[in-house]
Amino acid sequence: MAWKNQSFPARLKYALHGIAQALRSEQSVRLQAAAFVAALVALSVLRPRPVWWALVLLASALVVAAELLNTALEELADHLNPQEHPRIRLVKDCAAGAVLVAVLGALGVALALAVQLLRE
């Protein structure tokens, strides 16, 4: 089957399957998804201005996306080279570092929102 140039519904199905599989198999993806849901609940309760909704949703989505990419990269690396290897370890560490950077950015947005809400 040619994976390229699939219809949008087919590509959407593949993407949703990937998300569902990652949620089933990876605790870290479940944790980040739960944090995303918690952010939505907090936004609903706090009702900040729309710009804060956009910033929090964007930061949260980036964290989840980074976590999904990390999961995909780890799966591929483990499939291609199941043995421990220093270069594979570096690749996995860098991917995990990308998730950490995204999380820290999201926490920065949350802190800025908290400061803004305390000033109001």
* Topology classification of domain 8-119: Helix Hairpins (1.10.287)
For the chain, the domains span 8-119
pTM, two decimals, is 0.89
Query: What tens digit of pLDDT does each residue of 27-70 get?
Result: 999 999 999 999 999 999 999 999 999 999 999 999 999 999 99
Active-site entry in 26, 67, 74, 120: 67
> Are 39 and 56 contacting, i.e. CB atoms less than 8 angstroms apart?
yes
pLDDT tens-digit series, residues 69-81:
999 999 999 999 9
67 is catalytic: yes
Rounded Cα distance, 101 and 34, in Å: 18
CA 22 – CA 83 distance, rounded (Å): 22
Quickly count: other Cβ atoms within 10 Å of residue 28's Cβ. Answer: 14
